[in-house]
Structures are given as structure tokens and as C-alpha cells.
């Protein structure tokens, strides 16, 4: 039975936080719209500039969940440390009852921001809404999960053995909100979370306001609140840091980093891969030999040096240096044999393709220009379609592009890359931009998903990666690095390559 000694939640947050090595939105942007209550903790508020606006009204059942997690307002049963080990949060402990079911003990003395008590029934309600959501949260892709209350505990079962179920439940998309959040069509996190900060106001795609929650079950937040602005333009985010309009800034574009005081930026390799997905189902890239021609045309080094100014790592595969074990398995014979099975590149002459990407990450349109040039140099005729992510995602998932450039986190959800592989590259994957349906790939990913944590799982994961690369469903370009901005005086902002944590109970401003 897995049981954990009680400890303060601030320590858990610290364990889960991983240390790292056009300015239209800036005037008066970061003022609060709701005043915090006075408490014994600090009275200062932290202003942050976020990369992307909400896509789904801040529903935790979408990628917006990661904003709620980074603001420390919505919490999960489990959190992860820097090694991907599961630690207690709203669950104080868990045990595996049999190969398909786990029992979780729910923390007592926890209240939602509206004052209602956290119970086993409220946990079941939240998880059941995730199970029934359309689209399904990607952490649940391919998982036949059921939940039920058993006294003060919650029993979670899966249709097939899931050795990483506790880690799966750490996904921000499985955050536990009060039943009131689910009473309308759009799930509302306003006043319904359990974290140290209460979400009190949301201004569409402009910003959000959070105040310290004084009845938090763990240590009180050091800061009085958080003032959020969504600033998709990378130049504007960098300017917000330089001018002091924002104290913590997400995703400084590599091209802007040189214009900022080096003391204000932190950089680290992260589990995020810039990838060119090829549509394997329809269009020219349904032909494996044409996909091979595209792969051979791409010059990764030129992209890194030109667009990222050297602030990225060359991609030898889908998984990068943030998972240091990955490179070792690429030297094994089985891995090389799979890559050797790829067809020879076809000769292309005037083959028309559509190439899509989005503007929210400033580098991607520049990457698209270079990719177009490289592909046209070998005979492709490329037509680009570049929009904001919220306006292009649905078309990408529907297979309306021949090729699509995406910046994709590879261990975003469970701390384990198998969930990413299943979501992006299996027949039933919920994020299958490549539209890939290959029995060999499905089998390899299934094998990895059923293998217990450790070296055997790592090896199986890398064989699955090799299967995907052998199909040329995706061409990994580079592995990004976190470039996070922190103004002078910011103390204990989380520096998390997984992009789950940003502001914690310990984050505050140095008054000196």
C-alpha cells in the first residue's frame, strides 16, 4: 500500500516544481479587478503574462486546465515530483487493490472556494464529468476508466491494467472542482477550485483575477493574489517584462531573448518537441515514399540557428534531452532496424501540399517559411495557412492539412511520454494530426502502456517512437527550451519544463 506522511502543501509544490537554469496590451494591463482580503500573509500581488488565451472558457476538461494548474487554483488528487513520481495532493494515499483497480483516500478538511466540503462524492462527480466529456481529455485516450465512492475513499478502475494510474490522475485535465462547476454547459472554475488562489473574475480572452484563499487546506499563499493577462504576441510579452508591466512572463520567444537583460530570463531544455506532422490518410503524404521525400528535405540545424538563434536542441527523435534516458535506447539494434525499414524517398515534381501552423508561438510562422523553402527546393509546391491556434486547431485535427507544424509537449499529462504517443499516433488517438492508423504502431504503444515503470517501460517507449518515425508520420525538428521571464524581486516562481506549475504558495515579491 502506498501511504505518505502528511506534509505541508507548499513543500509538495516545491517538490513538483523543477528548477531550470506591438505593445497593445501593456498600458495598465495588470491592475487587479478584485481586491484581496487582508491576511497575515503578504499583501503584494503578482502580475503574469500568459502565452495563449483560453480556448474553452477555462474549462478544466480542455487544455485550459493547465492555466488553472499554473495559477494554483485547481488541484488534482496527485502531483508529480521532478522524476515523475506520484505524490499526495487531494488524495493522501493510494493502494492497488488488483491489477485493474486502485483505492484513493481523499484528504479531509478541504473546502472548495465556495465553501463546500471536498468529499469522495465530489471527487467522483468531477472525474465522471471528465470520463463523459466530448472531446475526451487526452489523458483518458484509450482508457476505459470508471470511478465510484466507497466510504471516504474513491475506487478508480480501468478496463486494462494501468501501472501509471496515479500519475495519470495528476493531469490538470482531471482537476477536482465542486459540483457547482458542472451545473451549466460550460464548466466554470470560478469559485469552485481548492487551490491556494481563488479564481474570482475572468475577462474573456483578455485576463483573469485570482485572490489568496484564506481557508486553504495547506500553508497560505505568500502573495495576496495574481493578475493575469493573455498576451499572444511574443514581442508584447517580452516588452511587458522589460518595462515591468509583468513580473512573470511565459514563453519568451527565442528571437526576443537577446533584447532582455540576461538576469531576467531562465532557460532549460524541456519535454516539448517542434514537430512537422504529415497527413498519412489523405493527400500526397498518404504515400510513404512522398513522406520520406519530405523527411529527407528538412534541415533541422538551419531552423535552429536561424529561427531559434541556437536556443533549442536538435531533434534526433520525438523525445528530447529533458528525458535523458531516451538517447541511450536509440543506439540499440532493434531501434535501428525499424528505421531502416523506411521506404526510399520518391522523386517529387510540383506536388502541391498545404502547410499549416499558428501564430501563438512566435517562432512557428518563421519555421513555416523555412520548411516551405526546404520542401520547395526538392519539388513540392507549398501553400501556407497560418492563424491563431484557437482558429486552426479543429482543422488540423480534422486532417484538413497535408502538413502541420506543432510545438507539442511530450510528457504534459502523466509525466510519462506514452500518453503523448497514444494521443498523437494511435488509431483512436484524440490528437492525431497525422491521422495515423498503423497496427504495428498501435501494438508498440499498447505494449509500452502496459509495462511497469522502469527501464523496461523506457525501452518499450523508445521502440514505439521508432515505429512512429519508421512510418514518417511525424518529422521531429527540434526540442524547445523554456525561456521564462522573471522580474527582479520575484521569489520562488516555479520553473517547470512540464508547464504545469508557475505560481505556487511560496511565490512572492521581495519587498527590498
Whole-number Å distance between alpha carbons of 263 and 238: 14
What is the pLDDT of the chain when averaged over all its residues? 89
Residue among 269, 263, 272, 236 nearest 252 (CA): 236
Q: Of residues 40 and 465, which shows the higher confidence score?
A: 465
- In the chain, where the domains are located: 2-247+487-509, 270-480
pTM: 0.70
pLDDT at position 30, please? 40
pLDDT at position 42, please? 67
Is the model's pLDDT at 393 over the cut of 90? yes
Is the model's pLDDT at 3 over the cut of 60? no
**H or E segment to which residue 239 belongs:** helix 234-243
User: What superfamily in CATH does domain 270-480 come from?
Assistant: Dipeptide-binding Protein; Domain 3 (3.10.105.10)
Q: What is the mean pLDDT of residues 182-193?
A: 93
Read off the pLDDT of residues 335-369 as tens digits, 9 standing for 90 and up: 999 999 999 999 999 999 999 999 988 899 999 99
Residue 113, helix vs strand vs coil: coil
Residue among 504, 511, 425, 499 nearest 52 (CA): 499
Is the model's pLDDT at 376 over the cut of 80? yes
Whole-number Å distance between alpha carbons of 261 and 428: 46
User: What superfamily in CATH does domain 2-247+487-509 come from?
Assistant: Periplasmic binding protein-like II (3.40.190.10)
Helix, strand, coil share (%) of the chain residues, nearest 5: 30, 25, 45
Read off the pLDDT of residues 435-460 as tens digits, 9 standing for 90 and up: 999 999 999 999 998 888 788 999 99
**Per-residue confidence at 139, pLDDT binned at 50, 70, 90?**
confident
Whole-number Å distance between alpha carbons of 121 and 150: 9
pLDDT at position 41, please? 59
Q: What are phi and psi of 128, to 5 degrees?
A: -65, -35
**H or E segment to which residue 94 belongs:** strand 91-98
**Per-residue confidence at 320, pLDDT binned at 50, 70, 90?**
very high
Non-local CB neighbours of 340 within 8 Å, separated by 6+ positions: none
pLDDT at position 411, please? 82
Amino acid at each position: 500500500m502506498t501511504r505518505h506522511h502528511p506534509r505541508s502543501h507548499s513543500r509538495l509544490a516545491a517538490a513538483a516544481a523543477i528548477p531550470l537554469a506591438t505593445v497593445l496590451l501593456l498600458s495598465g494591463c495588470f491592475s487587479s479587478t478584485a481586491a484581496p482580503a487582508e491576511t497575515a500573509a503578504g499583501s503584494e500581488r503578482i502580475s503574469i503574462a500568459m502565452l495563449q488565451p483560453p480556448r474553452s472558457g477555462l474549462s478544466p476538461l480542455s487544455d485550459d486546465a493547465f492555466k488553472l494548474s499554473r495559477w494554483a487554483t485547481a488541484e488534482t488528487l496527485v502531483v508529480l515530483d521532478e522524476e515523475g513520481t506520484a505524490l499526495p495532493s487531494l488524495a493522501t494515499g493510494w493502494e492497488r487493490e488488483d491489477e485493474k483497480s486502485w483505492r484513493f483516500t481523499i484528504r479531509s478538511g478541504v473546502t472548495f472556494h465556495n465553501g463546500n466540503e471536498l468529499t469522495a462524492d465530489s471527487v467522483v462527480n468531477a472525474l465522471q464529468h471528465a470520463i463523459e466529456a466530448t472531446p475526451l481529455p487526452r489523458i483518458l485516450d484509450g482508457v476505459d476508466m470508471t470511478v465510484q465512492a466507497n466510504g471516504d475513499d474513491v475506487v478508480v478502475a480501468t478496463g486494462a491494467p494501468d501501472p501509471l494510474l496515479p500519475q495519470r490522475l495528476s493531469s490538470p485535465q482531471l482537476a477536482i472542482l465542486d459540483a457547482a462547476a458542472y451545473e451549466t454547459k460550460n464548466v466554470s472554475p470560478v469559485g469552485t477550485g481548492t487551490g491556494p488562489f481563488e479564481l474570482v473574475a475572468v475577462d474573456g480572452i483578455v485576463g483573469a483575477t485570482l485572490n489568496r484563499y484564506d481557508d486553504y487546506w495547506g500553508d497560505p499563499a505568500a502573495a495576496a493574489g495574481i493578475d493575469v493577462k493573455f498576451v499572444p504576441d511574443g514581442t508584447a510579452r517580452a516588452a511587458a517584462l522589460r518595462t515591468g508591466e509583468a513580473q512573470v512572463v511565459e514563453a519568451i520567444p527565442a528571437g526576443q531573448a537577446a533584447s532582455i537583460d540576461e538576469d531576467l530570463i531562465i532557460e532549460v531544455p524541456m519535454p516539448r518537441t517542434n514537430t512537422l506532422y504529415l497527413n498519412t490518410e489523405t493527400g500526397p503524404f498518404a504515400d510513404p515514399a512522398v513522406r520520406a521525400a519530405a523527411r529527407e528535405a528538412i534541415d533541422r540545424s538551419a531552423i535552429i540557428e536561424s529561427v531559434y538563434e541556437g536556443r533549442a536542441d536538435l531533434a534526433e527523435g520525438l523525445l528530447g534531452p529533458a528525458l535523458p534516458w531516451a538517447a541511450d535506447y536509440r543506439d540499440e539494434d532493434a531501434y535501428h532496424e525499424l528505421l531502416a525499414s523506411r521506404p526510399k524517398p520518391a522523386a517529387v515534381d510540383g506536388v502541391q501540399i498545404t502547410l499549416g501552423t499558428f501564430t501563438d508561438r512566435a517562432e512557428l510562422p518563421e519555421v513555416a517559411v523555412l520548411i516551405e523553402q526546404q520542401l520547395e527546393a526538392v519539388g513540392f509546391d507549398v501553400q501556407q495557412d497560418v492563424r491563431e491556434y484557437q482558429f486552426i486547431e479543429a482543422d488540423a485535427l480534422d486532417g484538413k492539412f497535408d502538413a502541420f507544424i506543432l510545438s507539442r509537449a511530450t510528457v504534459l499529462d502523466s509525466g510519462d511520454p506514452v500518453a503523448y504517443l497514444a494521443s498523437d499516433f494511435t488509431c483512436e488517438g484524440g490528437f492525431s494530426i497525422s491521422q495515423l492508423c498503423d497496427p504495428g504502431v498501435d501494438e508498440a504503444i499498447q505494449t509500452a502502456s502496459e509495462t511497469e515503470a522502469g527501464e523496461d517501460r523506457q525501452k518499450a517507449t523508445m521502440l514505439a517512437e521508432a515505429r512512429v518515425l519508421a512510418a514518417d508520420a511525424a518529422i521531429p525538428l527540434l526540442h524547445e527550451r523554456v525561456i521564462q521571464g522573471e522580474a527582479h524581486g520575484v521569489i520562488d516562481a516555479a520553473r517547470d519544463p512540464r508547464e504545469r506549475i508557475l505560481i505556487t504558495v511560496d511565490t512572492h515579491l521581495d519587498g527590498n
